[in-house]
Structure 1
Amino acid sequence: MNILESLKMASSTLVANKLRSGLTMLGIVIGNASVIAMIGVGQGAQKLAAEQFESLGPNVLFIVPGSEQARRTQFNLPKTLVLADAEAIATQVPTVKEVAPQINQTAVMSYRNRNANDTVIGTTPEFLSVRSFKIDRGRFINDIDIKRNTRVVVLGSELSEKLFGNRDPIGKRIRIRNVTFEVIGLMKAKGSFIGDNQDRKAFIPLTTMANQIVGQTSPYGLEVSWINVTAKDEQSIRAAKFQIENLLRLRHKITDEDDFGVQTQKDILTIVGTITTGLTFLLAAIAGISLIVGGIGVMNIMLVSVTERTQEIGLRKAIGAREGDILVQFLIEAVIVSAVGGILGILIGIGAVTLTGALSPLKPSVSPTAILLSVGVSGGIGLFFGVVPAQRAAKLDPIVALRSI
């Protein structure tokens, strides 16, 4: 019997037992759909992270306080950076374009009977260009505000809506920790960055933040949470990082481990990319377990099929069918079940990826490699788990089989 004839017989047998064939495919369908969906969502997370880091601003470097060990193990980092460090970087590092130090503090803000407990950022005028924020209405903090410790505030779009609703906030006064501030500007919507909503922040002058909100506790100067820096161009990023590190080591008189860290946009994106890739593989591996379970289901149903079709196998052998013919037919049945289940699973997986993209900020994509891998694995599982039932059918004694007729 040739392969074409075996294929026809296998197909007709599966069609004749639709319910059993469908239930056999179910595990393969779920496994393939899970693999496609998990890989697609993982790649969408990677794309979203890359876009969010690009939105931080071009050629950005972040100088963060604390040693590497402290940043890994401590929640509250030591305040090892001061405003004088930022000023020194701005004046003494030739590859740096702009510097924007900032102090972060969570505080209760109120307007009449409305309250918000969100982040207040004390910063300088350069923050706007360094971090690629844009003003929607009004103005941002200026140098006069910094020199005079002016009580002015710029609100993020969602924070403004929370405090003022649909009313124009410009010119209104809000209270931050019982200190009155005049609203002078409203930011354009920026969106979230790794779960941190950039539109629910308030921006006030750095000096006002230090002197009237958090206070100064360092004997070395005005403490800052971190320092944002932009290099002159993309080619200057590595040189800027090297020069900043050397300058701060001299200023802090460091002879051992650095009490700060300089991270480029690319460094952070590499770390996040490694994490998201690892999570994608983990999710795909977990989803792949269902493929194995589906394969075991194929083997179980095929073994039952062999038992049920004992008479058919004996009759075919009695009229001249060889062991190889029986083996090929049962293997083809197992592969068809797995392949068709794989295709249905891929279609469901693509639908799940599309739905995820429509209902979430992720931008998942369907990888052709993942599709080919799923189809190949499905067919391979059918072939692998179909061997035992096929061999049992092929080795069945025709005399014993015919006795049951």
Structure 2
Amino acid sequence: MIAMSDLFRVSLRQVVRQRGFGVILSIALGITAFIVLAVLGREIRYKVGQDMVLMGGVNVIQVFMDDGAYPGQPQREFYPETIKALRALPGVGMVSLNLHGGKVFGLRTSGERTINMDFIGIDQYFAEVYSLTLLAGRLFDASDIERRRRVAMLGREAAQMLYDKPDDAVGKLLILGQDVFEVVGVVSGVMLGGWGRGGFLPYTTMIDRNWSSGRVDRLFVRAIGWEDVAPIVRRIPEVVREHQAAPYLVIRTQDEQLARIQTTFMWVEVLLWLGIVASLMLGGFGIWYGTFAAVRARTREVGLKKAMGGSDADILAQFLAEALCKSLAGGVLGIVMGVLLVELGSWSLGTGVSYSLLLASSVGSIAFSALIGVAGGLYPAIQASRMDVVSALRFE
């Protein structure tokens, strides 16, 4: 019986001589992708999902009191304790206060033309909830809301209509009703829609003047991710009605866009895992084919070993060990590459690494690599061990 150390030493020499680097690389790439997805899959999914979600705004839930649609009903607003409870819900990233409906003012453009522009009341969280981009000036802050300042922000289209350039709008004065407001910022964003052609005022300032509804009757609830939208929507009515009467509460979401994003993510994940499986299967078939080729090329060598007293088990062990060396080399290379990519990915994503999960996935990768080697090399190795000595020695 050949010694184990000699067996693997000879097998490694044969692997290097056969130059099966393509097979090793194929297994290594599959193992690398497996480790990265296993360890950083959730963070990558969340990060990519956030970018897609924010572009469509499907993680923003509008919640408002629709009492105005029912004559004779008292006009309700959201209580502070209700808002606090909603902010504490799992999956809720932020809640922005708003006045349902706007106030239209006639403003004169630089070309001496009067246009009607709609202004809505918002708080300091609105810009972050809707992922707005600041083009000029500044955003509203907490002091603007608390001190009920007469300041305004304009959407990009509104600033262009009034002043041609967004930068020219900052510092300008707007006459809204009987008050003068200073433009402090110009914003843009793919989620603004028609609001980009209007303006924004502190909701407290609008309440003081009884503009719009005159009360906080609409909330914008931003979920952390798209997976959180459905659970939050189910919980919102319960939480609101635990703290106040809300018989005509309306919740609006972008269900169709959300369904499309969910379907897209499902197919992306399926394709990623199919790619990993295909890479590993390619490595397995490469080992199978390479071992068969080695058996055929060394048929006379097998016959000579048997003639000198080598057992079937020795022949089986040698070819199986060569297959194992190829697969384990790919597994080790894949683990090294995977660990490096996990560290790089965690740094770029700004997240921590679960080293217990990394260790478990690495051990699992080595075991799976060994399984690929055994599965790919076992049948050719059995064929080699069962060769007839005379036929093998006569093989040309």
TM-score by length of 2: 0.59
The structure-2 alpha-carbon separation of the partners of 1:364 and 1:346, relative to structure 1 and needing over 3 Å to count, comes to farther
Q: Is the 8 A contact 2:172 2:183 kept in 1?
A: yes
Distance between the aligned counterparts of 1:310 and 1:22, measured in 2? Answer: 23
Q: Which runs of 5+ in 2 are unaligned?
A: 52-58, 88-94, 103-108, 111-117, 132-136, 160-164, 223-233, 254-260
Which position in structure 2 is the counterpart of 1:7? 8
The structure-2 alpha-carbon separation of the partners of 1:250 and 1:152, relative to structure 1 and needing over 3 Å to count, comes to closer
Q: Is the 8 A contact 1:85 1:248 kept in 2?
A: no
Distance between the aligned counterparts of 1:364 and 1:307, measured in 2? Answer: 50
Q: Secondary structure at the match of 2:78?
A: helix
Distance between the aligned counterparts of 2:373 and 2:238, measured in 1? Answer: 56
Q: Is the 8 A contact 1:335 1:383 kept in 2?
A: yes
Which position in structure 2 is the counterpart of 1:371? 362
Q: Secondary structure at the match of 1:89?
A: coil
1:242 counterpart = 2:238: yes
Q: Which of the numbers 383, 387, 393 marks the counterpart of 1:396?
A: 387
**Following superposition of structure 1 onto structure 2, how do residues 5-404 of structure 1 map, counting pairs within 5 Å?**
5-17=6-18, 19=19, 21-45=20-44, 48=47, 64-65=62-63, 80=66, 88-90=77-79, 93=82, 96=85, 100-101=97-98, 122-125=120-123, 127=125, 141-142=144-145, 152-153=152-153, 171-172=171-172, 182-184=182-184, 203-206=200-203, 226-228=219-221, 242-245=238-241, 250-252=246-248, 259-260=250-251, 283-354=272-343, 361=349, 363=351, 365=353, 367-404=358-395
The structure-2 alpha-carbon separation of the partners of 1:3 and 1:173, relative to structure 1 and needing over 3 Å to count, comes to farther
Q: Secondary structure at the match of 2:77?
A: helix
Amino acid of the residue matched to residue 142 of structure 1?
A: I
Aligned-residue offset at 1:290: 1.2
Aligned-residue offset at 1:14: 1.8
Percent of aligned pairs with the same residue? Answer: 21
Q: Is the 8 A contact 2:96 2:126 kept in 1?
A: no
The structure-2 alpha-carbon separation of the partners of 1:311 and 1:330, relative to structure 1 and needing over 3 Å to count, comes to same
Q: Which one is further off, 307-316 or 337-346? A: 337-346
Q: Deviations over 1:256-310 (max 9, x none)?
A: xx74379xxxxxxxxx99x989966763453132101210111011111110010
Q: Secondary structure at the match of 1:153?
A: strand
Q: Is the 8 A contact 1:28 1:378 kept in 2?
A: yes
Aligned-residue offset at 1:240: 8.5
Which position in structure 2 is the counterpart of 1:73? none
Distance between the aligned counterparts of 2:339 and 2:75, measured in 1? Answer: 49
Which position in structure 1 is the counterpart of 2:106? none
Provide the alpha-carbon RMSD of the alignment: 5.7
User: How many pairs were matched up?
Assistant: 320
Distance between the aligned counterparts of 1:91 and 1:144, measured in 2? Answer: 18
Q: Which runs of 5+ in 1 are unaligned?
A: 53-60, 67-78, 106-110, 113-119, 230-237, 253-257, 263-271
TM-score by length of 1: 0.58
Distance between the aligned counterparts of 1:3 and 1:380, measured in 2? Answer: 19
